[in-house]
Chains A and B, each alone.
Chain A
Amino acid sequence: MTTATPTVAAGTQKTGGTPSTAAGRVRKRLNSRTATLVSIVIAVVWTIPTFGLFVSSLRPEDEIKTTGWWTAFTNPQFTLENYQQVLFGQSSSSGQLAGYFINSLAITIPSVLFPIAFACLAAYALAWINFRGRDWLYIAIFALQIVPLQMALVPLLRFFSTGVSVGGITLMPAWDLVDEQKFAQVWFAHTCFALPFAVFLLHNFISQLPGDLMEAARVDGATHPKIFRTIVLPLITPALAAIGIFQFLWVWNDLLVALIFAGGSDETAPLTVRLAEMAGTRGNEWQRLTAGAFVSIVVPLIVFLSLQRFFVRGLLAGSVKG
């Protein structure tokens, strides 16, 4: 009856919803009840660790350290003191996360903008400009996204600290960055490492734009830069949102690149570096770790929950088609 049904969901519900016997109907309903129940239980179990952390971050220090967070429901005592301490406290043990929060922002924003802009241009060229070696270039960039970034860390750090010289001639002096200037090398590193995936993902989107559209614009005498600005960019905004979220989550949550290129000082280190350090040196100060972890989680969570649609779409375009 429903070979013409457009969506899978509708098609199977219609056919599956009417088993011929009463027993079959009962079994069917029971099955879907069980499935619902089990999937909700799993979802809850999946959330419990995060939930426990959140509840703990709101409890007074003495309570966190002596009783489990689940006792908070029978003996509720909540406070924002931990957040106050971990964000704004001035003693060196308290976290001082507000400053690191700003570092995270200062690292993340340019590290998201630069690679997306460059990747957009490159993806357009690889999809719609004819030149020799195009396919090979695309495959090379595609392959680069699998190369572990560990392969680049040591030489890239030396590139910043000692510059480039060939045969005694200095091609580029050392950057010699101090304090907050080090942000620049973090941006540079993040941009380089993000490009292969960004080019790949955007190429997937851009190459699927209708060719007729491009052809019509070309016949009208539009040049490639004009087509890129007036036709392609407006059409790929969902793709830009997707890659933007990816890159944001990746940079905000990154530890390795920040550890190496930003260092551990409070001038440049992002939240992740500070938290990893606190987990190592003050592993039992749970009142600070729980609140601190939540401070670092909250921004990506908001971004993620509000833009989940784009994120999932990007995930599907980036993996299934590739």
Chain B
Amino acid sequence: MEFDFADQQPKLLMLMYGLIAFVVVVGGLLLLLDVVPAQFARRREAQLVAASVGGGPLPRRRKQREGLFAFFFLLPTLLLLTIGLVVPAIRTVLLSLMDGSSTNWVGLRNYGWMFSEDSIVRVLINTLIWVLLVPLVATTFGLIYAVLVDKVRFEAVAKSLVFLPMAISFVGASIIWKFVYAFRGVGDQIGLLNQIVVSLGGEPKQWLLNSPLNTLLLIVIMVWIQAGFAMVILSAAIKAIPGDIVEAARLDGVSPWQMFWRITMPSIRPALIVVVVTISIATLKVFDIVRTATNGNYDTSVIATDMYNQAFRYGQSGRGSALAVFLFILVIPIVIYQVRNLRQQREG
């Protein structure tokens, strides 16, 4: 019984097709961009010649050509965004007003179902707990660690270790932590958490089966991943604080505590906001952790996992879409806030 490499050949062939498609599409586009302006230049030259011979007014087409270039540069992106995001998003809104098989209009019944069904209310509450706790804990920890690790020896190594979970998939992280939470009814414990509990004289527990503690334990996984992100961004912000400000404060004899609240915090406020916003969005959409660790059982489900279950497992695309739309409504304030920020920056 050996691994048969021949079975894998169709996949590699498909991968090759994909790469050929990439070369053809991108190469073709670049070629097109080279050919089209050359054509235009030639035509314009002909027009110029004709105009100078005939003594007529010189044609002015500069503006139009810019627009044409922009169109070709943007074509693939706009096409894909329209097909892949904008149109589907509009259709999801419509689907959320239809029944499970998407044949009859049911008005807002799917939304009514969301707030009346106990299990879904539980899902909404869980999501709320996630969104409140993860950004708060991860950012706080990241900030403390960034301040603590600033300029100590082995700073780079220590930061790398905390940052490392960012590279691990949510699925991998969930397995890592499921192993930490593992439980054995008899004999030695194999999970670290239960081992610690036992050595402190407690009883081992099936951690992931008990609500609401299990949701908190899943949140630990997310914090474990996101704290490194917060730490890296905030650490960079701290290092960017101008040295003369820090020194002036030192000469005035401020305590480290005052230094942190009066100098550090105001200076890194923009970075802090970015971190909180980014982690909040990621948390709102969290799916992989819950699905891998508990599959949404034992009262741990969140909006994204339930959306998947409704739409793709139970065939209730109306309800699934309603949950997706609800998720979207939750991020709208963030979208508005970010767009306003961006416009201010671009004007300033």
Report if A255-B19 is in contact (Cβ < 8 Å); known contacts: A191-B80, A225-B37.
no
Of all chain A residues, the one with the shortest Cβ separation from B22 is A113
Q: Kindly state whether residue B270 has any CB partner on chain A within 8 Å.
A: yes
Q: Kindly state whether residue A106 has any CB partner on chain B within 8 Å.
A: yes
**In the complex, per-residue mask of A9-20: 1 if CB is within 8 Å of any chain B CB, else 0:** 111110110000
Q: Kindly state whether residue B101 has any CB partner on chain A within 8 Å.
A: no
Query: Which residues, 40 to 55 on B, are CB-close (under 8 Å) to A?
Result: none
Q: Are B74 and A155 in contact, with the CB atoms below 8 A?
A: no
Bound together, the chains give a CA A115 to CA B81 distance in angstroms of: 11
**In the complex, per-residue mask of A216-230: 1 if CB is within 8 Å of any chain B CB, else 0:** 000000011110110
Q: Kindly state whether residue B219 has any CB partner on chain A within 8 Å.
A: no
Contacts of A267 in B (CB 8 A): 10-11
Chain A: minimal CB distance from B344 (Å): 12
B187, B239, B335: most-surrounded residue (chain A CB, <10 A): B335
Tell me the dominant secondary structure on chain A's binding face: helix
**In the complex, per-residue mask of B1-43: 1 if CB is within 8 Å of any chain A CB, else 0:** 1110001101111110011011001100110011001000000
Q: Are A144 and B288 in contact, with the CB atoms below 8 A?
A: no
Report if A260-B312 is in contact (Cβ < 8 Å); known contacts: A8-B242, A47-B161, A225-B33.
yes
Interchain CB contact (< 8 A) of A154 among B25, B34, B167, B311: B311
Of all chain A residues, the one with the shortest Cβ separation from B183 is A284
Of all chain B residues, the one with the shortest Cβ separation from A44 is B161
Bound together, the chains give a CA A121 to CA B70 distance in angstroms of: 9
Q: Are A2 and B247 in contact, with the CB atoms below 8 A?
A: yes
Of all chain B residues, the one with the shortest Cβ separation from A319 is B274
Chain B: minimal CB distance from A59 (Å): 10
Report if A297-B73 is in contact (Cβ < 8 Å); known contacts: A8-B246, A148-B327.
no
Q: Kindly state whether residue A167 has any CB partner on chain B within 8 Å.
A: no
Chain A: minimal CB distance from B10 (Å): 5
Contacts of A205 in B (CB 8 A): none
Residue total for B at the interface (Cβ-Cβ under 8 A) = 136
Q: Are A256 and B308 in contact, with the CB atoms below 8 A?
A: yes
Of all chain A residues, the one with the shortest Cβ separation from B4 is A90
Q: Are A192 and B22 in contact, with the CB atoms below 8 A?
A: no
B70, B241, B295: most-surrounded residue (chain A CB, <10 A): B70
Chain A: minimal CB distance from B197 (Å): 12
Contacts of A73 in B (CB 8 A): none
Q: Are A50 and B165 in contact, with the CB atoms below 8 A?
A: yes
Q: Are A150 and B285 in contact, with the CB atoms below 8 A?
A: yes
Chain B: minimal CB distance from A254 (Å): 8
Contacts of B83 in A (CB 8 A): 159, 192
Q: A129-B69, A322-B341 are in contact. List 16 more A-B contacts (CB 8 A).
A: A2-B247, A53-B179, A66-B187, A99-B3, A148-B285, A150-B307, A154-B88, A156-B84, A195-B81, A196-B85, A255-B292, A275-B171, A290-B179, A296-B171, A316-B233, A320-B274
Q: List 17 A-B contacts (CB under 8 A).
A: A12-B151, A43-B158, A47-B161, A49-B177, A50-B176, A52-B179, A68-B189, A99-B8, A109-B18, A150-B328, A154-B91, A183-B11, A224-B37, A225-B69, A279-B293, A290-B179, A320-B271
The 5 A-B residue pairs with the shortest CB-CB distance in the complex, in nearest-first order:
A192-B84, A11-B243, A253-B169, A125-B73, A304-B167
